[in-house]
Structure 1
Amino acid sequence: MQRTIFNTPLVTPLLRLLARLLIKLHGWRVVCDRRALALKKYVLIGAPHTSNWDGYYFILAALKLGVTPHWLGKDKLFRFPLGPVMRWFGGISVDRSRANNLVQATVDKFNESKSLIVVVPPEGTRRRGERWKTGFYHIARGAAVPVVCGFINFAKKEVGMEKALEMGESLKAELERFRDYYADKVGKFPERYTPPA
Structure 2
Amino acid sequence: MIGTLILKLTGWTVVGAFPDCSKFVAAVAPHTSNWDFVIAIGVKLKLGIKIQFLGKHSIFVGPLGWLLRRMGGIPVERSAAHGMVEQISARFSQQDALILGIAPEGTRKYSPKWKSGFLHIAKAAQVPVVPMILDYRSKQFVILPAIFIQGDIDTELQNVQDLYVIEMAKYPQQVSGDMQSVSAKPD
Query: TM-score w.r.t. structure 2 length?
Result: 0.84
Structure 2 CA distance, aligned partners of 1:98 and 1:129?
18
Q: Deviations over 1:129-187 (max 9, x none)?
A: 11100000100011000001121000111114222100022123212321321127611
Query: Structure 1 residues 112, 48: closer, same or farther in 2, change over 3 A?
Result: same
Q: CA deviation at 1:82?
A: 4.6
Counterpart check, 1:126 vs 2:112: no
Q: Percent identity?
A: 37
Counterpart check, 1:107 vs 2:89: yes
> Could you say which residue in structure 2 is the equivalent of 1:21?
5
> Given that residues 96 and 102 in structure 1 are in contact (C-alpha distance below 8 angstroms), is that contact kept between their aligned partners in structure 2?
no
- Which stretches in structure 1 are left out of the alignment for 5+ residues? 1-16
Q: How many residues get paired? A: 179
SS of aligned partner of 2:145? strand
> Could you say which residue in structure 1 is the equivalent of 2:44?
62
Counterpart check, 1:177 vs 2:126: no
Q: Which moved more, 1:167-176 or 1:47-56?
A: 167-176
- Which stretches in structure 2 are left out of the alignment for 5+ residues? 180-187
Query: Structure 1 residues 185, 114: closer, same or farther in 2, change over 3 A?
Result: farther
Query: TM-score w.r.t. structure 1 length?
Result: 0.80
Query: Structure 1 residues 134, 40: closer, same or farther in 2, change over 3 A?
Result: same
Q: CA deviation at 1:61?
A: 0.9
Pairs within 5 Å for 1:47-86: 47-73=29-55, 77-78=59-60, 82-86=64-68
Q: Deviations over 1:39-59 (max 9, x none)?
A: 200111110000000000011
Q: CA deviation at 1:107?
A: 0.7
> Given that residues 6 and 39 in structure 2 are in contact (C-alpha distance below 8 angstroms), is that contact kept between their aligned partners in structure 1?
no
Query: Structure 1 residues 50, 94: closer, same or farther in 2, change over 3 A?
Result: closer
Structure 2 CA distance, aligned partners of 1:51 and 1:78?
19
The one of 147, 154, 163 equivalent to 2:129 is: 147
> Given that residues 60 and 75 in structure 2 are in contact (C-alpha distance below 8 angstroms), is that contact kept between their aligned partners in structure 1?
yes
Q: Which moved more, 1:65-74 or 1:90-99?
A: 90-99
Structure 2 CA distance, aligned partners of 1:60 and 1:195?
26
